[in-house]
Amino acid sequence: MRTRLICAVLLLLGSLASVASAQQVLDLARIQDQTLGNGMKVIIKSEPYWRAVALGVVIRSGAKDDPAGKAGLAHLVEHLLFEPSLPGKSLSLAVEDLGGAVNAYTSADFTLINLAVASQFAPDLMSQLAGTVFGARFVPEQVEAEKQMVLREMADRDSALQTRLSTLGFDLAFTVHPYRHPIPGTRESVTDLTLADAQQFYQDHYVPGNMALIAVGDVDPTAFFALARQHFGAVPARPRLPENLPAEPPQTEPRSRIRTMDIANAVIQFAWQAPGISQPAEVCAMDLIYTAMTRGETSLLSKALNAQRLALHSEAGFLTQKYPGLFTITAITPPDKQLEARQAILDLVRQFHEIPTSAEELAYLKKLLYADYAFDNQSYSDQVGTLAFYEALSTYRFATNYLAIVNAVTSEQLQEAARKYLREDNYNLTVLSPESANQGGLHA
């Protein structure tokens, strides 16, 4: 599940009616798929209630696939896709001129292009969408211009505490796996990227068998499959680059990293290795733990920290990834309360080890997740994003089975997941501390 704090309105949605509606959002019976002759997968959810359609192309390669020393390359290539290489408008301008919207982003695991338009315009955009992902032609001037844009974005992000915390935390938690590298890269790595680098990455990863085309909305499946074969299926098959990433070794002792900065309050983050998509029951158990920790003002995390005035703000995070990722707990705390806040977080985690979740509490947490699921899939574009997310990591069917997997999680499984992953001998602690704070006793 993508990390998002559950807002108070979801508490109002935790009814049996919302559970039923959530189960119908991505009903497998309403989804069709085909694999084209060149290996590209096409996924369709026909829902003709509104005269609109969302289209997405997901590339199963992201920042994790950047070659050694070339962090940020996948992100740069995504930027370059929207530079017109042939006469005419770019895809983004073409969509916007039709009153639609287009979005693209690079994650650690994949790259996604997601657009939404009135359904009558979708057939005409199929050719341009195919040309964007299969017919891009990069030129030196575009590469240099996009590098400068990425560097400007990076400068803005680097000034944010969250970016610094995340960069330090991932680098601490991952010793060999490429999840340790920032998705946009670093100033040094991006500066050194070349036209040849972009062309090689594009050639290696933008191949039909490494992609999926997804449509949700007012589409006729038979006609859409025919359009997909015409515009996407005509591209010759090419071998996919084998994925051979180093596995992160199990962590057997705590690690810590402290940086002093010109800030008023301390920022602390605990991070634990967490399950990847190949462990669906454990992923859903961790989603339930995340939900228990973050359910608004009555959340366990808020009670442990905010209510005790140990933190000005606190949150947890868990993002399902293809490979084992991270479960994080973050708090902003007054400097003189930092050690107490750290201990309170560890005490809270220990509760999940020692105190089984009651049947009533577990049922309530599941309702919150059902509501979250429905909330996150309201629009056609949201549904394309969810199907693409899971198709890139494993299969879109994980999205259609998600609620059933959540529903099957037992109190014992939740407790086992906490004991397996959220331990006191394998956390990563990152601290951003005020320069004026007393540094005594800050080591883990």
Specify whether the CB–CB gap between 216 and 43 falls below 8 A: no
What CATH number is given to the structural domain containing 263? 3.30.830.10
Residue written as token pair 């939740």: 414
Same domain, 291 and 391: yes
Say yes or no: 203 and 295 in one domain: no
Name the residue range of residue 301's domain: 255-434
- For the entire predicted model, the pTM comes to 0.92
385-395 per-position pLDDT tens digit: 999 999 999 99
Please state the domain count of the chain: 2
For residues 174 and 50, membership in a common domain is answered with: yes
Task: Give residue 306's region: left, alpha or beta (phi > 0; psi -120 to 50).
Answer: alpha
394 in any annotated domain:
yes
Q: Please tell me whether residues 259 and 179 are part of one structural domain.
A: no
Same domain for 226 and 274, yes or no, is no
State the DSSP code for 377. Answer: T
**Secondary-structure percent of the chain, ordered helix, strand, coil, rounded to 5:** 50, 20, 35
**Is there a single domain that holds both residue 260 and residue 219?**
no
Query: Cα separation of 435 and 444, whole Å?
Result: 18
For residues 12 and 81, give the distance between their C-alpha atoms in angstroms, rounded to a whole number: 42
Residue 104 falls within a domain, yes or no?
yes
In a domain? residue 382: yes
Q: Does any domain span residue 17?
A: no
Exposure class string for 58-72: b at 16+ Cβ within 10 A, else e: bbbbbbbbbeeebbb
What is the reported pLDDT for 15?
Answer: 38
Q: Please enumerate in sequence order all residues whose Cβ is within 8 A of that of 24, keeping only pairs 6 or more positions apart, or say none.
A: none
Is 238 among the domain residues?
no
Q: Are 109 and 321 in contact (CB under 8 A)?
A: yes
The pLDDT value recorded for residue 13 is 30
Residues 191 and 298 in one domain: no
Do 83 and 222 fall within a single domain?
yes
Q: Give the pLDDT confidence score for residue 87 in this predicted structure.
A: 61
Q: Is 159 exposed, middle or buried (0-12, 13-18, 19+ CB in 10 A)?
A: exposed
- The answer to the question of residue 397 being in a domain is yes
Residue 98 sits in the same domain as residue 145 = yes
Q: Are residues 54 and 102 in the same domain?
A: yes
In the chain, what is the greatest distance between 2 CA atoms, to the nearest angstrom? Answer: 69
**Which residues of the chain are modeled with pLDDT < 70?**
1-23, 84-88, 296-298, 437-444
Q: pLDDT value at position 297?
A: 59
Determine, yes or no, domain membership for 337.
yes
Ramachandran category for residue 441: left, alpha or beta (phi over 0 → left; psi -120 to 50 → alpha): left
For 41-50, how does the pLDDT look when each residue is reduced to its tens digit (9 = 90+)?
A: 999 999 988 9
Residue 32 lies in a domain: no
pLDDT at 438: 52
Give yes or no: residues 324 and 368 share one domain. yes
> For 347-381, what is each residue's pLDDT tens digit?
999 999 999 999 999 999 999 999 999 999 999 99
Same domain flag for 183 and 57: yes
Question: What is 100-127 written as a DSSP string?
Answer: -EEEEEE-SS-EEEEEEEEGGGHHHHHH
